[in-house]
Amino acid sequence: MTLQAPITIPMAFVQGMLAGVQARGESCERFLVDAGIAAGLMGQAAARVTADQYSTLFRLLIERREDECLGFLSRPLKLGSFALMARSALGAPNVETAIRRVAHVFRLLQDDVVLEQMTADDGLAGLALRFCNASIAQPVFLHEMLLRVFWRLIAWLGGGRLPAARFDFAFESPDHAGSYGQVFPAQLRFGCPRSAVWFDAGRLRGAIRRDETALRAFLADAQTHVILPRRSDDIASTRVRSHLQAVQPAWPDLAATARSLNMSTATLQRHLASERTSFQSLKDELRRDIAIVRLNTSGVPLAELALDLGFSDSAAFQRAFKAWTGSAPGSYRRSS
C-alpha cells in the first residue's frame, strides 16, 4: 500500500493561529510546548511544523480556551458551535439549503461575522464573509480560517468534494501568499470587497449525503478535517509526490518518474508547469517534509537521514535543509 506523503505547514499559519490569543495579552508558550513546537522557530519566516503539530495546536487552543474561534471574535464561540452548525444541515434537501441553515446558526452564535451565499453572472456561486465589526476583520488568519472551515464543511456535507473555482480575499496579498496553493487550490484574488470561496453554481442543487452516524465520525477529528491542506489525487503534482514517497529510499529522476506515471517527460513537465510547480521543487518539498517529520518524531542520526533522502553526506543535507527552512536540522528536534 502506498504511504501517504507527509505534509508540513508554514510558520506564518502558526503565527496567524496564535494572533487572536496574543492580541488578548495571553501567553502562547504553553500551547507551543504541548504541541511540540520549538518556540525558537517562531521567529524563522521559512520554518515549518508538521501537520500533527499544527492540528494539535489548533485543538489545544480550542479546548483549553473553550473558544472555537481562537480569541478572534468579540466573545468566545463556545465549544459545540461547529457541531451545532453541521448538525443543523443534516436532512437538508440540497447544498443550497444546507448553506442557509449553517449561516443562520452561525449568525445566532456570534455578532461579528455573517456568512452569505452569493451568485455571479459567470455561473459561479460563493460563500462570502461579511464583517459587522471593522476591528474584528483585521487579522488575515481569521479570513483564512473561516473560509477553510465553511468550505470544508459544505464540501463534506455534499459528499466530500466542492471544487473551488476562485478565492477572493478582503486584504492585500500577504508575505506568505506563496504558501496558499496547498490551502486554497484555485485562482486567488486579493484586495477584494469580501473574502469568499466561489464554486460551480450547479453544486447548490446537489444532495446532502451525510447522516448522524457520519457526522459523529467527522466530529471525532473535526480539527484535522477543516484545518489541514488536502491534495487532489487527480493532479500531476500529487501523483509525483505519491510516487516518490512510494519508492523510497530511491529518488528517481524526472525521466524515470514520467515513465512510471505512463507519460513522456515533456508531458509531465507541461502538467507540472500548469500547476505552477516543477519536478525538482516537488522533490525538494517532499524531502523537506520527510526530514521535518522524522526530526520531530525520531532520533534518527543526521547522516542516516541524509542518505535516506538521497544526499551524499550529512553536510550536504544540512546545507539544503537550512536553505529550505532557514534553520539547522537540530532546531527541529522535539524537546522533552
- The pLDDT value recorded for residue 1 is 35
201's grid cell? 453554481
Of 35-44, 53-62, 144-153, 277-286, minimum mean pLDDT range: 35-44
Over residues 287-293, mean pLDDT: 93
CATH class of 236-332: mainly alpha
Q: Is pLDDT at 335 greater than 90 in this prediction? A: no
- In sequence order, the 6+-apart residues with CB closer than 8 A to the CB of 220 are none
- The pLDDT value recorded for residue 231 is 65
Contact 295, 304 (CB under 8 A): no
Q: How confident is the model at residue 336 (pLDDT cuts 50, 70, 90)?
A: very low
Q: Using CA atoms, how far apart are residues 240 and 171, in angstroms rounded to an integer? A: 33
Contact 62, 68 (CB under 8 A): yes
Q: Is pLDDT at 7 greater than 70 in this prediction? A: yes
Q: Which of the given ranges, 44-48, 236-240, 294-298, 304-308, has the highest pLDDT on average?
A: 304-308
- The pLDDT value recorded for residue 334 is 58
- The pLDDT value recorded for residue 178 is 87
Q: How confident is the model at residue 279 (pLDDT cuts 50, 70, 90)?
A: very high
What would the DSSP string read from start to end of 191-228? S-SSEEEEEEGGGGGPPP---HHHHHHHHTTHHHHHHS
Q: Minimal CA–CA distance to 227: which of 148, 139, 147, 127?
A: 148
Taking only the tens place, the pLDDT of each residue in 232-272 is: 666 888 899 889 988 988 899 999 999 999 999 999 999 99
C-alpha 24, offset from chain centre:
25
What residue ranges do the domains of the chain occupy? 80-227, 236-332
| Residue 262 φ/ψ region, left for φ over 0, alpha for ψ in the -120 to 50 degree band, beta for the rest | left
120's grid cell? 455571479
Provide the percentage of residues in the chain whose pLDDT is more than 90.
73
Mean pLDDT of the chain: 90
Q: Using CA atoms, how far apart are residues 194 and 210, in angstroms rounded to an integer? A: 30
Q: How confident is the model at residue 299 (pLDDT cuts 50, 70, 90)?
A: confident
Over residues 283-295, mean pLDDT: 92
Q: Cell 480569541 maps to which residue?
A: 71
Taking only the tens place, the pLDDT of each residue in 92-143 is: 999 999 999 999 999 999 999 999 999 887 899 999 999 998 888 789 999 9
Sign of CA dihedral 141, 143, 148, 150: positive
Over residues 150-173, mean pLDDT: 93
pTM (2 d.p.) = 0.86
Q: Minimal CA–CA distance to 291: which of 300, 281, 280?
A: 300
Q: How confident is the model at residue 181 (pLDDT cuts 50, 70, 90)?
A: confident
Within 171-318, strands assigned E span 187-190, 195-200
Number of DSSP helices (H) and strands (E) in the chain, helices first: 15, 7
Contact 331, 322 (CB under 8 A): no
- The pLDDT value recorded for residue 254 is 94
- The pLDDT value recorded for residue 221 is 86
Compute the radius of gyration of the chain from its Cα atoms.
Answer: 21
- The pLDDT value recorded for residue 5 is 64
Main-chain dihedrals φ then ψ at residue 197, nearest 5 degrees: -115, 130
3-class secondary structure, 251: coil
Q: Minimal CA–CA distance to 144: which of 85, 229, 205?
A: 229
Q: Is pLDDT at 303 greater than 80 in this prediction? A: yes
